[in-house]
Structure 1
C-alpha cells in the first residue's frame, strides 16, 4: 500500500492508495535495456484549440479543487485560465490506473512506474513533445528521460515529484546509531519484535539492494532485475527478517503511532513520516544508509486515445508550474520536480528537507520499477523473476 503521505491528504481523500511500484531502477537514461518495444506513436508538433475539458486519473492529493479543503485548490485557476474543466477520478492502485486508461475515457494519468511501463508497452500512453510543455525546461535534469518515463530517448511523460524510502530509528533505544540496512536485516534480532517494514512485494527490492552491497558474489546490478538465484537470496533474507518484525506497515499513521509508543524502534519510512513523528515528540532520526535506498517517482502521462489532448498538455504544464508544483509537493509530502518550485513553498526549508535539488542524494536512490522477465539490467543470458512471482513470494515471506 502507498498512502498519500500527508495528514491533510489522508483525511481529505479517506482512501488507501495501493501503489505497488513506482519509479525505476537506479540506472539513468532511457529504458531501451528493458526490451520494451512500444508501438510507433507520434507526439504532436504543435497544440490546437483547447477542447473545454480534461479527464484525469490521479493519486489522492494530486488534483485538488477546494472540495476537500477550501484552502487547497490549484484546479480552479487552471480552469479559469485555460477554459478546460477538470474531471478527475482518484485511483486506488496502479492496476486500476492501467485498467481505466485502457477505456479511452481519460486524457492523462499520474502514473507510477509499474503503470507507466505497462502503458507505454501496450500503446495506451502516447509519447510527449516536451517542447509543448514550457515548464518542462525547469524540471530537474535527473528526472528527465529516465527509465520509467522514456524509451529510446523519447519522453513518455512529465515528471511530477519523488521521494526516498529511508531507515528510521529511535535514538534512545537504538545505539549506536545505525549506518547500514544491516540493522533491519542481519542484525535485526537485536530489536526482535520491534522492527517494522514496508508492506508490499516491492520491498523485496530493499533486500536485494542490501545484498547488492553485502553479497557481491550474487552480482546484483539492479534490485528490480533479479534472476532466480538472486531472487531466492532476497526472499530468504526477508524470511529470516520476518521472525524479528513486529509489524509491516502500509498505513503510515500507524507507523507514527508505533514509533511514539515504542512498539517499533527501527524500520523503513518516508521523510514526511519522519517529520510528523518528530513533530509529535518521538525521538527518531531518518536517513539514507550507506548502501543507498529504494524510492518512488510519479509521472503525468497522456493517453494515446485522449479526446482532449490539448487540455491534457495544458494540465501537464500547469501541474509542474512553480507555484502549483510547490503546492502539490507540500500537500502530498514529496520533493517537487520543478526546480523553481522551491522558491514558492510556504516552508522555505521544504526543498532542503526533501532534498529536491540534491543530485548526489538521488543518485543513491533506486527508484521503484516493475520487474519483468526481460532483465532490466540488460542481461540477455538469463530470465529475471517477473512481478507476479514477487507478489506470490511476499505472501510466503509474511507467512
Structure 2
C-alpha cells in the first residue's frame, strides 16, 4: 500500500510539472526543455520574412497554444532584409527567413545566433539535401533551419504563348517586346549568367562573377530591357501584371501560377532547358532577440509535417519536411513539387552566398537606370 501511495504521489507530481510547462518532451529528442511555456503568455513573436510566411492559417494555432501574438513584417528582397535588420531591427525582430544568398552573410556579420537542434523535434525528418548545405554552419554550429524552397520559374500565360517556351531566350522574341517582367533583385544577374552559360562548369559561377562576366551579364540584361514591361517587387504585383495582361512571360515564384490558376487563368511555370535558379529560405533567430525561447518554440512548431503542410497550402512553395506530403491533396503535391522533389533538387541551381553583393547591386542599378 505504501508503494502504491508513493507511486501515485510521484505520478501526480510529474503531471503537475508537465502541465506547468516545466517538462515538455520533444519528439525525437532525448532532451526536455526547461522552459516554462506559461511565461510566453502575452508576448509577441516578430518575424521579418518573405511575403506569406506569417499567414494566420498557420500562425493562429500557435498563438492559441501559447497565448501569444505572431506579427509578420514582410520584405521584398534580400537587401531589404539586411537593411531592416541593421537599421535597429536586430532588437525588434526575433526570427528572419533569408534566402541562401543572404543567410551566410547574416552568420558572418554576427546578426543571428546558433540554434539548438535538439530542441527541434522534427529536424532529422527534414530533407537531407536541405540539411546538408553548409552555408549556415560555422564552427560546428548550425544557424538556420530549412523552411521552404522552390524554383525561379519561367512563368507564362499559356493562352497567349501557345507553345511552351523551351529557353530563357524566348524573352527576346520581337512579339514579346514590352510584355516581359523580371524581378527587381540582383537575382536577375544570376539569370543573365545562366543565359550566358556561366554555371556550366561550376554552379557557383553565377554567384562569383568577375568584372568581365558582370559586364557581359549587364549587356545581356540591357539587351532584354526593351522587352521588359516592369521590374516587379512583390508577388502580388506580378500577379496583377499577369491578370491585366500587361505581361505574358516573367521570372516568377510558384505562388504566381498557383494563385492565378485559382482565379481561372491559364498561367504555367516551367524550368527551361538551361535550368533555373532556386532558393531555400531558412528560419534563423536574431542575435539580440529577447524572445529566444519563444522563437525556438516557433521553429519546433512550424517544422512539424502537419504545420508545414499548411505553409505549403498558403504559399504553394515546397516545404522542408517531406512528411508534409501526407497532409496535402494530390493537386497540392503537384503544385508544390512535393511529389517529385528529387527532380527539382537535380534541376535547380540553388542560390549561394554572393561575397561581392555590393558590386552586384551596383551593376543591377546600372541596368535599371541605363538608357536603352
TM bucket by the smaller chain?
A: 0.7 to 0.9
Q: Measure the CA separation in 2 of the matches of 1:46 and 1:271.
A: 38
Which segment is superposed worse, 155-164 or 260-269?
A: 260-269
SS in 2 for 1:62: coil
Displacement of 1:125 in angstroms is 1.1
Q: Deviations over 1:172-206 (max 9, x none)?
A: 5435432111111xx43342222222222321111
Q: Is the 8 A contact 1:199 1:250 kept in 2?
A: yes
Q: Is the 8 A contact 2:204 2:352 kept in 1?
A: no
Displacement of 1:365 in angstroms is 1.9
Displacement of 1:74 in angstroms is 3.0
Q: Deviations over 1:21-60 (max 9, x none)?
A: xxxxxxxxxxxxxxxxxxxxxxxx9743245246332325
Q: Measure the CA separation in 2 of the matches of 1:168 and 1:80.
A: 38
Question: 2:153 aligns to what?
Answer: 166
State yes or no: 1:371 paired with 2:320. Answer: no
Correspondence list, 1:187-266, <5 A: 187-212=172-197, 221-260=204-243, 262-266=245-249
User: What TM-score do the two structures reach when normalised by structure 2?
Assistant: 0.77
Q: Is the 8 A contact 1:167 1:181 kept in 2?
A: yes
Question: 2:334 aligns to what?
Answer: 352
Q: Measure the CA separation in 2 of the matches of 1:395 and 1:97.
A: 23
Question: 1:58 aligns to what?
Answer: 48
Q: Count the aligned residue pairs.
A: 332
Question: 1:301 aligns to what?
Answer: 284
Change (3 A) 1:239 1:220: farther
Segments of 5+ residues of structure 2 without an aligned counterpart are 1-30
SS in 2 for 1:268: strand
Displacement of 1:385 in angstroms is 6.8
Segments of 5+ residues of structure 1 without an aligned counterpart are 1-44, 66-71, 374-383
Displacement of 1:154 in angstroms is 3.7
Question: 2:34 aligns to what?
Answer: 48
Correspondence list, 1:1-399, <5 A: 47-50=33-36, 51-52=39-40, 53=43, 55-59=45-49, 60-65=51-56, 72-75=57-60, 77-79=61-63, 81=65, 83=66, 85-92=68-75, 93-99=80-86, 103-151=90-138, 154-174=141-161, 176-184=163-171, 187-212=172-197, 221-260=204-243, 262-345=245-328, 347-356=329-338, 358-373=341-356, 386-397=359-370
Question: 1:29 aligns to what?
Answer: none
User: What TM-score do the two structures reach when normalised by structure 1?
Assistant: 0.72
SS in 1 for 2:45: strand
Q: Is the 8 A contact 1:133 1:316 kept in 2?
A: yes
Q: Is the 8 A contact 1:371 1:386 kept in 2?
A: no
